[in-house]
Structure 1
Amino acid sequence: MLSTSSDVVNDVDDNAVARSDVHRPGLPRGVARGVFAGGVALSALLMFWGAWERRWIADDGLIVLRTVRNLLAGYGPVFNAGERVEANTSTAWTYIVYGTGWLTGIRLEYVVLGLALVLSTTAVVLAMLGAARLYRWRLRAATGTVLLLPAGALVYIAVPPARDFATSGLETCLVICWLALVWLLMVRWATPDPAGERALPGTVGILGTAFVAGLGPLVRPELAIVAGLTLAVLFLADGLTWRVRVAMVAVAGAVPVVYQIWRMGYYGLPYPNTAVSKDAGGAKWSQGFEYLGNLALPYLLWLPLLFLVAVAAVVLLSTGSGRGVRARFPARGTDMRTLVSTGRKALRTPTAVVVLILVCGVLLMLYSLRVGGDFMHGRVLLPPLFCLLLPIAVIPLQVPDRSGLGNNRPTRIAAAVAVLWAGTVLWAFFASNTTGMPEGAVVGRSGIVDERAFYSLNTGHLHPIRAEDYLDYPRMRAMVSTIANTPNGGLLLPTPAYDAWDVVPPPEPIPPGGAGHTVFFLNLGMTSMNVGLDVRVVDQMGLAYPLAAHTERLEDGRIGHDKILYPDWVVAESGMVDRYPWLPPYLDEEWVANAKLALTCPETRELLDSSGAELTWPLFKRNLRNAFEYAGYRIDRVPEYEIQRCDLPIPPPGG
């Protein structure tokens, strides 16, 4: 099977694996192992140290911890108790943090920091192991000594945002670790042990790979692209019985399908609420390309990619053969059955795995560009970049044996690879010390910001990690004081002053213990983590607030912040006093009254009940049935226009 299933096998004869153990004059055998082990250790150390030096937890990272706090308190996977809203994009990250926090009892900020450091470092190691396996197999019959040098791994580490988001409390560390694990498993699936000690993975290995790949949508929704293509390659490849294929589908789909059914019934949506809030299906190509330039241009990122692509081309050309090319393309006139059979055999090859991972990287990048990128410098392009670098995480430098030394082809190839690798290392040194956004702490015209620099500057902490570090962010201490000074409860609205909040009081009679507080503010993480779980926290963008999430997107809004709900809606929805002098002067009594009326729209009421009403079996079934319809439902942010859209009776002026 091996001689027909791998295009690499066409480059050497059937005894190549056996001959791979034959000694060839060159550097001592231990040197190659030592160089690779040292490269892995150095890369892992650089990733760990670089992430530690830039350690922090973003405001969005603290959003995750609010949900984890509710889980630990027994309120379920929600942001506000009693409101079933999935405010975190990565389901897997939420539950990994929850499980680790529950097992260790350690403060959640430190749980996140520890997990992020471990996962980011592990991702680099797995990426290098996969690439090393690939090159060892391809060059198993090479003479001389093959040194595997860290390359793509260094490129990724050198990009400053990669070290910023190695921590940050967000799921980037988990995403790249999952990508690296899928890469390693797929390379192992397609290549036998180069030493000839083990054959291709069997049924257990295939099912294990399918299970890991199937988790992609739970790691992050758009990773369904990678999961789907990977599973398709596994399913269609030659050599599997239909029983194994059925088992593979069952294993891959068990967790994500069960969770998807539960998500739709519990939350009333087919994907996280963040996708609704940010209209993840919309297109903002021009903003996306601006975002790409914001990452690639400051670091001259095209330069190392060009170097390493050249190295890959040299390796491929120097190890290819005409016989291998003919073997890959059947003769003209071959019948369809033979073509299909040849195609299925070709799927279980190293080349197919490399093509798979590169296609996945390109598709992930195109998706990120289509939605307009992000407002955080580089963040959403890091997984596509990491994916594209996986096949060149290490590169092979073939040192000729004594017979190959001199001014000949092997020596010239080795010299070219060495020069290109040295150029990559030199680029990495300068790029790692480059500030991609010199004024990144200021939100400019593009809407993109260096998020870590922004929060370090505005909190006064070089490494803002704990929730209380964010008390030094504008308005936060004033918020805590305002809540403490209003025992009756009320709605807190931010004011232009950093040391004051307006409070819209609840109607009388005030229940014993107060009516509770609602805070309306954009920065959900720092706000929610510095108050108790009894304080409701909602935002005008809708990450944790369905009413805002389902408003229409502002076409010219800042990327990632292009939904803004007027506070009049919150007064109406929360049931606070709707008359002057209790209303702040910038709110309008008529707008609040119109918002109250608009909230009686039957379709809107049904939408809000899908996540806010008590969850019963009939409601679960209704949510499951209507989840996609709810996801596409939109309201107008102007109450009067919403009344018209819903065909409700328009109240008289002043009424």
Structure 2
Amino acid sequence: MTSTHLSLREPDAVLGLLNSRRSAGRSLRRGVLCLLPALAIAFAGFHRRWMSDDGHIYVRTVRQILAGNGPVFNAGERAESSTGTLWQWLLVLAGLPGLDIARAAMYGGLLLTAAGFALASLGALRLYADRAVLPLGCLVLLALPPVWDFATSGLETGLATCWIAGAWLLLVTRAPSLATCVVIGLGPLVRPDLALVSAVFLGAQWLMVRPSRRAALGGLGAALALPVAYEIFRVGYYGQLMPLPGVTKEASQSLWGRGFDYLADFAGPYFLWVPALFLLTALLPSAAGRRAAAPLVPALAPVVAGLLCWVYVIKVGGDFMHGRMFLPGLLLMLLPVFLVPLTRAWTIAAVGVGIWAVACASLLRIPYEGRIGPGGVADERGVYVRQNAAPHPLHHDFAGYPSNVTYARLVREADRAGTPSLFLARTPAGANSPTVTGVFSTLGFSGTVVPLDGAALDPIGLAYPLAAHSERIADGRVGHDKRLPDTWIFADRGHGPLPDGLDPAGVAAARRALGCGPLAELRAATRDPMTPGRFLRNVTGVWERTSFRFPNDPVRAERELCGARQPNRQPKALSPS
């Protein structure tokens, strides 16, 4: 009886063991599918690791914070030069134990990018439940050189990749909680334009869960708590509605033509219409099949958010870095097909996209590698590799670019001896008075060589409020179409005899204009001691201050702001820096 009893139970035990092994094997394969895209982008990003000049803008602000000067670019002037608020404060945490901030920014971005790819893979696995999957959308991203380049760079792109993928994973898992709402609501702190993604994802979560009114208001409050709190701090401390780069780049204006040129610059060289066609042809039979169809809301939400991000980038005229501003939107649109079900239609699409990906990764390149293109868009990594004469530039010395080397030498000489030069003005020591002032357009580099108690000013206005509120130059390079004349800079910061080439009447008019109306208020909002009264005045006047612009011609500016009647004379400018 005993042997019979055992023999009857043995088949069930064997089947259970086989099923558990199959389940373990399936879990292992799914885990590998999650890790492979992350490992691939980690390898590609490390192979092309670098630090951008804009990344060094973050570094100087972090150094100022750690030095006790507050979240400013120059001590004594409250200007928010960091577009990615959360990235700035993460770098502060990295700098607390004494880590090299530039190195932490470069490798931290790489780790966050890889984590984002892993989270995107996991989200796709959850979206298609327990079905077998194969890679598709991840192949598109892995084939594009801009994705490799901005896996590092020191900018907030890696954090944006990780946050987008993580927020979508929370959406797919349908885990409504206050913590989920807090994470989804972080978009504006990752980058201001990612508020669009937060809004779409919160709307999608509401459609999926349909919470009570009380729960919905609680979730909305949790999502808005940190962004609203920081916005109150921003308007009171800096006196602006947005980070200063948003002011200088006129983020509220529309430049559709230039934006479509930026899209063509990104999509054209890589023939992005090829994978788009494969995806579209596979989507139709996939949507018709019940087994292959994904839940509608979590599948559509990132596509809608990605399209809105692309529309916004096109509206504001794009960017000067090749492909960079389209990467978050592209990731969003590819999330639902990052991995796809193993069906006939998707397999054909995956093969076609795979062939394109091999060709793109190995052959397709922009025609202006290592340079600035004819439309002002740059192969940003290639430019800094060439100018620094280094394959992986980290701490820029611009060994291959003599004008920057000369500038660094002038700064160091002025800091040691107080000798004025073409780009530098020495000012007396005192309250809110920098020891040495450097004026240079390559702001991250300038912020590296100018000491923290000095002033690194850029005529473009990324960290200099006066330049940010000047008029835009017609037909200027995208992202660099403001250039405050040296007349204004000397009137604002200079002391002693006028440098050769400056018009005394123009300097005098600029100095009078700086004491009138909105210009005087702008200087007070950013330079007066921070008191409760100053904070409140910054808050109440923030709308007018953020929208205020003044003419580059100091005589016209004086006439408009002070009511003076002076002959309209154009100031002579120094040689451009």
TM-score > 0.5 by shorter chain? yes
Which of 385, 392, 401 lines up with 1:463 in the alignment?
Answer: 392
Q: CA deviation at 1:235?
A: 4.0
Equivalent residue number for residue 11 of structure 1: none
Equivalent residue number for residue 160 of structure 2: 175
Equivalent residue number for residue 474 of structure 1: 402
Q: CA deviation at 1:270?
A: 1.2
Which of 609, 615, 628 lines up with 2:543 in the alignment?
Answer: 628
Equivalent residue number for residue 37 of structure 2: 43
Listed one character per residue, the Cα deviations across residues 313-333 of structure 1 (whole Å, up to 9, x for unaligned) are: 332212279xx9xxxxxxxxx
Counterpart mapping for 1:154-553 below 5 A: 154-189=139-174, 201=175, 205-235=176-206, 238-319=209-290, 350-398=295-343, 414=344, 416-467=345-396, 469-470=397-398, 473-486=401-414, 487=416, 489=418, 493-494=422-423, 503-504=424-425, 506=427, 516-553=435-472
SS of match in other structure, 2:260: helix
Which of 54, 57, 71 lines up with 1:77 in the alignment?
Answer: 71
Identity of aligned residues (%): 37
Letter in 2 for 1:117: L
Equivalent residue number for residue 340 of structure 1: none
Equivalent residue number for residue 8 of structure 2: none
Pairing 1:613–2:528 present:
yes
> Are the equivalent residues in 2 in contact too, given 1:268–1:624 (CA < 8 A)?
yes
Letter in 1 for 2:264: G
SS of match in other structure, 1:519: strand
Aligned residues: 553
Counterpart mapping for 1:585-596 below 5 A: 585=501, 587-596=502-511
Unpaired runs of at least 5, structure 2: 1-14, 572-577
SS of match in other structure, 2:134: strand
Equivalent residue number for residue 125 of structure 1: 118
Which of 51, 55, 67 lines up with 1:61 in the alignment?
Answer: 55
Equivalent residue number for residue 557 of structure 1: 476
Alpha-carbon distance in structure 2 between the residues aligned to 1:126 and 1:106: 27
Q: CA deviation at 1:359?
A: 0.8
Alpha-carbon distance in structure 2 between the residues aligned to 1:536 and 1:515: 6
Alpha-carbon distance in structure 2 between the residues aligned to 1:317 and 1:235: 26
Alpha-carbon distance in structure 2 between the residues aligned to 1:238 and 1:374: 38
Structure-2 change in CA distance of 1:237 and 1:548 (3 Å): same
> Are the equivalent residues in 2 in contact too, given 1:464–1:470 (CA < 8 A)?
no
Letter in 2 for 1:283: S
Alpha-carbon distance in structure 1 between the residues aligned to 2:486 and 2:38: 48
Listed one character per residue, the Cα deviations across residues 492-527 of structure 1 (whole Å, up to 9, x for unaligned) are: 545xxxxxxxx45558xx88xx97211111111011
Alpha-carbon distance in structure 2 between the residues aligned to 1:521 and 1:573: 16
> Are the equivalent residues in 2 in contact too, given 1:32–1:148 (CA < 8 A)?
no
Q: CA deviation at 1:112?
A: 0.8
SS of match in other structure, 2:456: strand
Letter in 1 for 2:31: A
Structure-2 change in CA distance of 1:444 and 1:616 (3 Å): same
> Are the equivalent residues in 1 in contact too, given 2:389–2:399 (CA < 8 A)?
no
Alpha-carbon distance in structure 2 between the residues aligned to 1:634 and 1:444: 30
Q: CA deviation at 1:446?
A: 0.6
Alpha-carbon distance in structure 2 between the residues aligned to 1:653 and 1:233: 57
TM norm structure 2? 0.90
Counterpart mapping for 1:104-119 below 5 A: 104-119=97-112
Q: CA deviation at 1:128?
A: 1.0
Letter in 2 for 1:64: Y
Listed one character per residue, the Cα deviations across residues 514-556 of structure 1 (whole Å, up to 9, x for unaligned) are: 9721111111101111232022101111011111100122231
Alpha-carbon distance in structure 1 between the residues aligned to 2:307 and 2:220: 25
SS of match in other structure, 1:551: coil
Letter in 2 for 1:595: A
Structure-2 change in CA distance of 1:386 and 1:459 (3 Å): same
Q: CA deviation at 1:29?
A: 5.1
Q: CA deviation at 1:471?
A: 5.6
Alpha-carbon distance in structure 2 between the residues aligned to 1:434 and 1:114: 27
Q: CA deviation at 1:564?
A: 0.9
Equivalent residue number for residue 4 of structure 2: none
Alpha-carbon distance in structure 2 between the residues aligned to 1:590 and 1:578: 14
Q: CA deviation at 1:55?
A: 0.4
Q: CA deviation at 1:482?
A: 2.1
Structure-2 change in CA distance of 1:633 and 1:239 (3 Å): closer
SS of match in other structure, 2:340: strand
Structure-2 change in CA distance of 1:383 and 1:492 (3 Å): farther
Q: CA deviation at 1:114?
A: 2.1
Greater relative CO (CA pairs within 8 A, separation 6+) = 1
Listed one character per residue, the Cα deviations across residues 260-294 of structure 1 (whole Å, up to 9, x for unaligned) are: 11111000011101100100111111111111111
Equivalent residue number for residue 489 of structure 2: 570
Listed one character per residue, the Cα deviations across residues 427-469 of structure 1 (whole Å, up to 9, x for unaligned) are: 11121123532323332331111000011111111111124x4
